[in-house]
Amino acid sequence: MDTLFAICATYQVDDGHAAGFMLMRKEPDGGARPWPILIARKGNHFFGFENACPHQGSRLDTVPGEFMDEDGNFITCGNHHAQFDLDTGHCFIGPCQGQALTPIKLIIDDGDVCLSGIDLAEEDGLDIPEPDEVPEVQITSD
């Protein structure tokens, strides 16, 4: 059985919504690269995709919280407004019509949404400095 990696708790993704996450994926050469993903929810079903539009590879969630329709049936690219079927990831409207999002295998385990079959790096992919590492800002006048 593949190793499971918990991404979030099921309650952290509201029904009819999606959430983006940044992970670090191991490369064949041993290095790591940032790997944006998204997890969408429709009822008790969770769908995972790489967070990259097949049109130009840009992230779908460029407009926070606005990449699902109000009924939670499809995902919309924040850049070019391409629309993707939630069940299959196939684009049915937009510049990448006929292409599809890259699916990610998800497993729900004890209330957690988990990845399976992916080799992740130890890093979390978030290059956010700790609060005590934020540089001091000095304001001066002319």
123 alpha-carbon distance from chain centroid: 16
Residue 46 is assigned to a structural domain of this protein: yes
Q: What is the pLDDT of residues 36-94, one digit of tens each?
A: 999 999 999 999 999 998 988 788 876 655 677 777 788 888 888 889 999 999 999 99
138, pLDDT greater than 50: no
Q: Which of 7-11, 13-17, 134-138 has the lowest mean pLDDT?
A: 134-138
107, pLDDT greater than 90: yes
Residue 133 is assigned to a structural domain of this protein: no
Residue 78 is assigned to a structural domain of this protein: yes
Is the four-CA dihedral 117, 102, 20, 132 of positive or negative sign?
positive
Of 86, 80, 84, 79, the C-alpha closest to 39 is: 86
What pTM value is reported for the model?
0.79
- Phi, psi (deg, nearest 5) at residue 112: -110, 145
Q: Where are the beta strands (DSSP E) in 4-123?
A: 4-9, 18-26, 32-42, 45-50, 74-76, 83-85, 91-93, 103-104, 106-109, 112-116
Domain count, the chain: 1
The tokens of 115 are what?
């990845």
Residue 48 is assigned to a structural domain of this protein: yes
DSSP state of 87: T
Range of the structural domain that residue 112 is part of: 4-125
Of 130, 131, 127, 129, the C-alpha closest to 24 is: 127
CATH of the domain at 66: 2.102.10.10
Residue 135 is assigned to a structural domain of this protein: no
Residue 116 is assigned to a structural domain of this protein: yes
pLDDT of residue 137: 46
pLDDT of residue 91: 93
